[in-house]
Structure 1
Amino acid sequence: MARAVFYGAISLDGYLADKEDRLEWLYHQEGGELVPYEKFYQTIDYTIMGRRTYEVGKRDAGSEVFYPEKKNYVFSHSAIEVDDNIQVVNEDPVEFIKKLPSDKTVWVVGGGALLKPVIEAGLIEEWWIQLVPILLGEGVPLFLPQTNQQKFQLLETEQFGQFAQLHLKK
């Protein structure tokens, strides 16, 4: 089984995106350019994301190709059009991750619906969560209600402008 990780920014009240699936609140925060995304990105082999995350990302990225040098998977129960470097998967994400090679790392990009079963199965070994000091009030949550409790070890905290990054390990 591949090593599963999460890396992403959330509002102080736990949202990945606002109620219109927009990320403008994130892009206009001082220090975002300082967050060491490239360092993290070099450590992964695969990305997996839900259909909604893919569609929102595609809308915001325009013609830019997602993660061109990685193997990328979008989980969807319906047929969708994706870029040539993306494969659509219609299966349980937990079982999918378990089938990936053990010497590889998979970035579970999101969103909450895809993350929920992966979290409940205890598959995410490391988290890098950037907290942004803004309250959105409502939106797309990172964490959906869970059926079990999980405890993590706080490895490190770092500040990048207005971003506070928590590095956690299972």
Structure 2
Amino acid sequence: MARVVFYGAISLDGYLADQDHSLEWLTTNPGDNSDDYERFYQSLDYTMMGRKTYQGAQAEMGKVNFYPDTENFVFSHQRLDLIDGFELISGDPVRFVQNLPADKTIWVVGGAGLVKELLAAELIDEWWIQIVPILLGSGIPLFLTQERKQQFTLVETRQFGQFAELHLKKKSE
């Protein structure tokens, strides 16, 4: 099975996006992680995201392939008109990940629902979470309610401008 990673920014109160699914709060805060992001992105083979994450990214980036160097999968049970370079998957994301080649890496770009399913199956191997010093008050949380406790090992913390990044790995039993 492929290595599964999450890389993304959240507000100080744990939200991926505000209540309108907007990332404006993220783009208006001074972070400086472009070198780290490029290194991270070059290590990937695939991306996966939910419908709302895809639609938010497309609204932000336009009708160009915003991940041109990877195979990109959008999970949705709704029919979508995707831009070139993205493939619609309506099946089980856990089974999908379990069937990927072991020598590949897939980035869970987002979708709290996708994160929840993969986390429940204990499939996310590594996390890079950038924390932005803003309280949104409400929105789309990174972590939805889980059925059981999971622990991680802190690998490293770094600062990028106003962002604090946590690098975590799944704790070995």
Please, what TM-score do these two structures have when normalized by structure 1? 0.97
Deviates more, 1:96-105 or 1:27-36: 27-36
Q: Is the 8 A contact 2:6 2:108 kept in 1?
A: yes
- In structure 1, what is the equivalent of residue 15 of structure 2? 15
Deviation at 1:46, TM superposition (A): 0.2
Aligned: 1:164 with 2:164: yes
Q: How much identity, in percent, do the aligned residues show?
A: 57
Q: Any idea what the Cα deviations from partners look like across 1:121-168, whole Å, max 9, x if unmatched?
A: 110000000000100000111111011110000000000110000000
* Unaligned stretches of 5+ residues in structure 2: none
> Aligned with 1:109: secondary structure?
strand
Which 4+ residue blocks in structure 1 deviate beyond 4 angstroms? none
Q: How does 1:102-113 map to 2 (within 5 A)?
A: 102-113=102-113
* AA in 1 matched with 2:92: D
Deviation at 1:12, TM superposition (A): 0.3
Deviation at 1:33, TM superposition (A): 4.7
* Unaligned stretches of 5+ residues in structure 1: none
> Aligned with 1:124: secondary structure?
coil
Q: For residues 104 and 34 of structure 1, do their structure 2 counterparts lie closer, same or farther at Cα, with a shift above 3 Å needed?
A: closer
* AA in 2 matched with 1:89: I
Deviation at 1:29, TM superposition (A): 1.1
Deviation at 1:118, TM superposition (A): 0.1
- In structure 2, what is the equivalent of residue 39 of structure 1? 39
Deviation at 1:35, TM superposition (A): 6.1
Q: How does 1:1-170 map to 2 (within 5 A)?
A: 1-34=1-34, 36-170=36-170
**CA RMSD for the aligned pairs?**
1.0
Q: Distance in 2 between matches of 1:30 and 1:122?
A: 33
Q: Is the 8 A contact 2:74 2:87 kept in 1?
A: yes
> Aligned with 1:136: secondary structure?
coil
Please, what TM-score do these two structures have when normalized by structure 2? 0.95
Q: Is the 8 A contact 1:35 1:160 kept in 2?
A: no
Deviation at 1:31, TM superposition (A): 2.4
Deviation at 1:114, TM superposition (A): 1.0
